Structure 1
Amino acid sequence: MTILLYDLVGTDASRPFSPHCWKAAFALAHKGLKFRSVPTRFLDIPAVEDGATKTVPLIRDGDKLVGGSFDIAVYLDEAYPDRPTLFGGEGGRAATRFIERWSHLTLHAFIGQAALMDIHDMLGPQDRAYFRKSREERFGKALEEVPADRDEKVAAFREALEPLRTLFWKQPFVGGEGPLFGDYIIAGALQWARVSSPFALLQDDDPVAQWFERCLDLHGGLARRVPAAA
């Protein structure tokens, strides 16, 4: 049975951009499970599965609905234990929660501001109105002002990735010789930026950029199939 993944998109249904939905997509592919992306726009979410969720990703696996990227990964590991693990055991699951918090505080905090207007421009008129109102309330300023200093702040963002950079001198993935869900958490954030914005987050010779290229090629090039924003 094909699993459904409700996947956030803008006007172009072929360009899912949510970091959380990408985490779920990577996790499903890692498990080798057949899934179908259901393009879902911001204002579509209240009607998804008769109001089952306020956010995406959400998956339907038979009669089971699971929301939230981390909970989806946990569910997949428990429901399909005979397929490749996403965490490498209970200790790995606990440690991955640290990676998730670090990603939110370091990656999402910068990307969510730097790519804000680019994300806005991907949306249709009604979603743009919703996005502008909700984000201006969150940031306390006009949408256009939020990413205005991204060129000045990107150097500090790159410096904050030094723990990852030094890790990749020793091993090819966060998970070791192969990827685990910790890799997908970070790759999901960078894919969010890649699909949404042409702004250069990383320099080409950065070990983090080289690791991300490896992630783009995983699972038959799942993430690379969506072209980068131009």
Structure 2
Amino acid sequence: MHESQSTKQRKGLLALSININLGLLVYFKYSNFFVENINGIAHVFGIQPMHWVKLILPIGISFYTFETITYVVDVYRKTHEPLKRFQDYLLYIILFPKLIAGPIIRYHDLADQLTVRPDVIDDKLHGFYRFVLGLAKKVLIANQVGLLADEIFALPYNELSTSTAWIGAIAYTLQIYFDFSGYSDMAIGLARMLGFRFAENFDNPYISKSITEFWRRWHISLGTWMKNYLYIPLGGNQVAIPRLYLNLTLVF
């Protein structure tokens, strides 16, 4: 695709790659859901249910699907040269610190680091500190407030007072943030110890003053990915109002 001079051929290869990746994502993530619903409807009408062996969802499939799409789009746009060695491509896709919970790393942000990385003791120390910080967020805060939230959510509605409900909601809110940002901190720290620099994924989202600001601060890598690889290519806000609403719907 990178070497082709034919715009039509390059677009065709891009579309093929994106469709294959999205097709695999949909197949693994939603096949069980669709089959269960179809069988439920079949049962209601007395129809023989479909025989289906439940699929096991590959760990981190959403993240590395986004990143394989990022790779082909960056190569298509000529944002960066394609990798010359297949093992470097595999390293980009399955680099383990980010595999399970992100952040989503764009190819052109990591490409040069795949072949040349510094080996500096300060990076290892900073990375270790960041990993421990993330682990503390997850184990000491997220897990503990999660227990409180689960206990409150398990209460019968007639035993749930307004104040208790608010405590449960706040506990769950804290659990989500410290769990997810903790995983991101651990990923960033592990990567730093290995010589990689990952972009930040959270920027104190709960101090945001608007929904727009919250979106910019929460899961930054996903928001950036949606903006650069979906929203803007669809026309962004430089389109008619009906198309703008469609673009926003597709992103969310």
Q: TM-score, normalised by structure 1?
A: 0.30
Larger C-alpha radius of gyration, 1 or 2? Answer: 2
From the two aligned structures, give the one with the greater helix fraction.
2
Q: TM-score, normalised by structure 2?
A: 0.28
Greater RCO (Cα-Cα under 8 Å, separation 6 or more): 1
From the two aligned structures, give the one with the greater strand fraction.
1
